[in-house]
Amino acid sequence: MPDTAAAPAEPAKASQASVQYQAEPKGTQKCANCIHFIAESNTCKLVEGTISPEGWCTIWTGQT
């Protein structure tokens, strides 16, 4: 019998307010150099909505 269970839903993203997102960088920390930023769509893997490459939030994580 085939498995008819639905695929697990993607985890909910955090709201911009909950991570204190701002459209300006914090020093040299900005979305463009964060591992969670998706440049092709100006989005984030963890935060909802459109994200500025020059933005910043509390879950910023630098690229290695």
CA distance 26 to 10: 29
pLDDT tens, 11-53?
A: 899 999 999 999 999 999 999 999 999 999 999 999 999 999 9
> What pTM does this model have?
0.81
Task: Tell the burial category of 6 from Cβ atoms under 10 Å away from its Cβ (0-12, 13-18, 19+).
Answer: exposed
Break the chain into its structural domains and give their ranges: 13-64
Query: Phi and psi (nearest 5°) for 18?
Result: -70, -20
Q: Are 61 and 37 in contact (CB under 8 A)?
A: no
DSSP 53: T
**43 - beta bridge partners?**
38
CATH number of this structure's domain 13-64: 4.10.490.10
